Amino acid sequence: MIELFGDVFGWLLGGRLGRRIVRRRNDRLRAESKTEASVRLVDGKVRGLSEQWMPAVWSVAPGRLTNFSVVVPVTDLRRDESRPPGFRESWSVDPEAHIYRARSNGATIKIALASSQAEWVVALLVGHECP
């Protein structure tokens, strides 16, 4: 009985603490105009991208995602056209992410963003004020 109580208490405390840590990290990244995201190439060529998801902490600027030497120009991203990951994609990206399709120098890319980050990142990428 005591073990069951300890397990339930640990599960509740661990989940709450974990969510708090993630929220604080996301707030810190946002203050630096950065976000955790995964980006992949669908067709065409963008230097530094492949057809495999590239998870990383990306710097976000109007019309551009940057991760060290990988600079991804982002154009034609539609705010209202996101979707959840499919079954196969959910093995590579957060199953609760929002996936957006965009253009990048004539290539097509996909960007997977955490639901808590998607609104401000997309707004900044398309050049609107961040909510």
pLDDT value of residue 102: 92
pLDDT value of residue 58: 93
Q: Do residues 130 and 124 lie in contact, with contact meaning Cβ atoms separated by under 8 Å?
A: yes
Percentage of the residues of the chain whose pLDDT score is greater than 70: 79
Question: At 89, which CATH number?
Answer: 2.30.29
Q: Per the domain annotation, does 20 fall within a domain?
A: yes
| One domain for residues 9 and 22 | yes
pTM: 0.80
Mean pLDDT calculated for residue range 57-64 = 91
pLDDT value of residue 5: 52
| One domain for residues 57 and 20 | no
| One domain for residues 26 and 57 | no
Number of structural domains (the chain) is: 2
Q: Per the domain annotation, does 105 fall within a domain?
A: yes
In order, the DSSP letters of 78-126 are: -TT-EE---TTGGGTS-TT-EEEEEEETTEEEEEEE-HHHHHHHHHHHT
| One domain for residues 25 and 49 | no
Percentage of the residues of the chain whose pLDDT score is greater than 90: 27
| One domain for residues 21 and 49 | no
| One domain for residues 70 and 22 | no
The residue segments making up the domain with residue 118 are 33-125
Q: Per the domain annotation, does 130 fall within a domain?
A: no
Q: Per the domain annotation, does 131 fall within a domain?
A: no
| One domain for residues 6 and 65 | no
| One domain for residues 79 and 106 | yes
C-alpha–C-alpha distance, residues 28 and 32, integer Å: 7
| One domain for residues 26 and 15 | yes
| One domain for residues 44 and 24 | no
